[in-house]
């Protein structure tokens, strides 16, 4: 059964399916919190500085994964997300982003990706 999440006055049901990477394959940018960067770095066996140098861009203090912004995330593999256990907050809270939960229409539009 799908989980029920209430945001404002609207109830949303959603549950990720194992191995699905549809959201990870959409164009966009993944921003990282300081905790995200250190957690992923540790998972990859890197220092936080090494991780940032190899995998991130920093602009105006914002840290985001580098790589294509018009295609899949750099950590998507055939079996799913290679950093799933430590994935960034932005990824963990998807699809409950403000633009997706503004109302039922936005939520229904999300079906294109899920």
Tell how far CA 48 is from the center of its chain. 19
- Taking residues 91-101, what's their average pLDDT? 85
Summarised one tens digit per residue, pLDDT across range 27-80 is 788 999 999 999 999 999 999 999 999 999 999 989 999 876 677 888 988 878
- Taking residues 13-30, what's their average pLDDT? 80
Q: Residue written as tokens 């940032």? A: 52
Residue 21, pLDDT > 70, answer yes
pLDDT at 83: 94
Rounded Cα distance, 39 and 1, in Å? 31
pLDDT at 101: 82
- 3: confidence class by pLDDT, cuts 50, 70, 90: low
Q: Residue written as tokens 């229409």? A: 105
């Amino acid at each position: 059964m799908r989980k029920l999440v209430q945001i404002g006055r609207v109830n949303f049901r959603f549950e990720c399916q194992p191995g699905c990477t549809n959201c990870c394959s959409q164009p966009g940018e993944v921003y990282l919190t300081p905790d995200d960067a250190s957690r992923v770095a540790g998972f990859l066996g890197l220092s936080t500085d090494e991780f940032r140098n190899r995998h991130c861009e920093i602009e105006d203090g914002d840290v985001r994964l580098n790589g294509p912004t018009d295609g899949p995330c750099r950590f998507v593999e055939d079996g799913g997300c290679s950093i799933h256990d430590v994935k960034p907050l932005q990824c963990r809270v998807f699809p409950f982003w403000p633009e997706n939960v503004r109302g039922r229409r936005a939520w229904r539009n999300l079906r294109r990706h899920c």
